[in-house]
Amino acid sequence: MRSQGRFRRLSGSRQLATVFGLVVLCASSAAIAQMISELTGPVPPMRPIPAPPIPKWVTNDVRVMRAFPDQPPVIPHSIEGYQLTVNTNRCLSCHKREFTVGSGAPMISVTHYMTRDGQMLADVAPRRYFCTACHVPQADVVPLVKNTFRDMSELGFKPTGSE
């Protein structure tokens, strides 16, 4: 009966290798469990964390100096509740060319009336219709990154013809 030989006791070196393998398996599973707890942190991963309070918007209607050349101006007033859809744009009710006299709001740039090819249009170009794609309200918060921009005039450069 040759098949009975398969289930004989393992030799001494094989027993040692099997025990060593089991020890390594237990140690590695403990290390993996410790590593997972370090990655997830002490807080249970599915515990709800309260959101920070929403910052207050700057609503003083004072124009803010731009932080870099060609920066779109920030919106110095609240736009909460403004409808901005394909059919309606509340921004244009004050900032469109024909309404600025009555509202006192600054007129949108003439570039907003141009196509990509520079052709002038009678109305705001479709690519400039959604104002909040470029213009954003300003929140009263500490900046995440310090602004190190310096204007050319601060660097000592003078405009052409100023000599």
pLDDT tens by residue, 94-136: 999 889 999 888 999 899 999 999 999 999 999 999 999 999 8
Of the candidates 106, 97, 101, 103, the one whose C-alpha atom is nearest the C-alpha of residue 124 is 97
Please report, for the chain, the start and end positions of each structural domain, with discontinuous segments joined by +: 3-40, 54-158
63 Cβ partners below 8 Å, 6+ apart?
Answer: 73, 76, 106
Averaged confidence pLDDT in the chain: 80
Of the candidates 113, 132, 138, the one whose C-alpha atom is nearest the C-alpha of residue 123 is 113
Spatial distance between the Cα atoms of 71 and 114, rounded to a whole number of angstroms: 18
Which of 9-13, 22-26, 34-38, 126-130 is the most confident on average?
126-130
Q: Evaluate whether 93 touches 100 at the Cβ level (below 8 Å).
A: no
The angle formed by the CA atoms of residues 120, 121 and 126, to the nearest 5 degrees, is 115
Task: Give the CATH class of 54-158.
Answer: mainly alpha
Of the candidates 79, 34, 85, the one whose C-alpha atom is nearest the C-alpha of residue 61 is 79
Looking at the DSSP bridge assignments, the partners of residue 84 are 89
Handedness of CA 124, 129, 134, 139 (dihedral sign): positive
Spatial distance between the Cα atoms of 101 and 107, rounded to a whole number of angstroms: 9
Alpha carbon 104 to chain centroid distance?
A: 33
Q: What is the DSSP letter of 47?
A: S
For the cut 60, the answer to whether the pLDDT of residue 45 exceeds it is yes
Which of 8-22, 48-62, 107-121 is the most confident on average?
107-121
